[in-house]
Amino acid sequence: MSAKRGRPTSNPKKEYIVVRATRQDKELLKACCQQLDQTQYEVVMDGIRMVYSNIQKFGK
């Protein structure tokens, strides 16, 4: 068994989110990742934060 690598995190990612998507949705995500040079996780989290911010500003 290999030892853990890297610094211990103060905010570990222990939760899982599973999303079913169409092939087109997956291609859109892939294109965004390539354009922004980000991981799928980073692109999805940016989207969640954007939606949350808009809800806070403008309401539902």
- 29 within a domain of the structure (yes/no): yes
User: Is 1 contained in some domain?
Assistant: no
CB 40 within 8 A of CB 33: yes
| Predicted local distance difference test score (pLDDT) of residue 7 | 78
Q: Is residue 7 part of a domain?
A: no
Q: Whole domain around residue 41: which residue ranges?
A: 23-58
pTM score, two decimals?
Answer: 0.78
Domain assignment present for 17: no
CB distance 43 to 33 below 8 Å: yes
Question: Per the domain annotation, does 36 fall within a domain?
Answer: yes
Confirm whether 51 is domain-assigned: yes
Number of folded domains that form the chain:
1
Rounded CA Rg of the chain = 16
Name the pLDDT band for 37 (thresholds 50, 70, 90): very high
Instruction: Give the model's pLDDT for residue 50.
Output: 97
In a domain, 12, yes or no: no
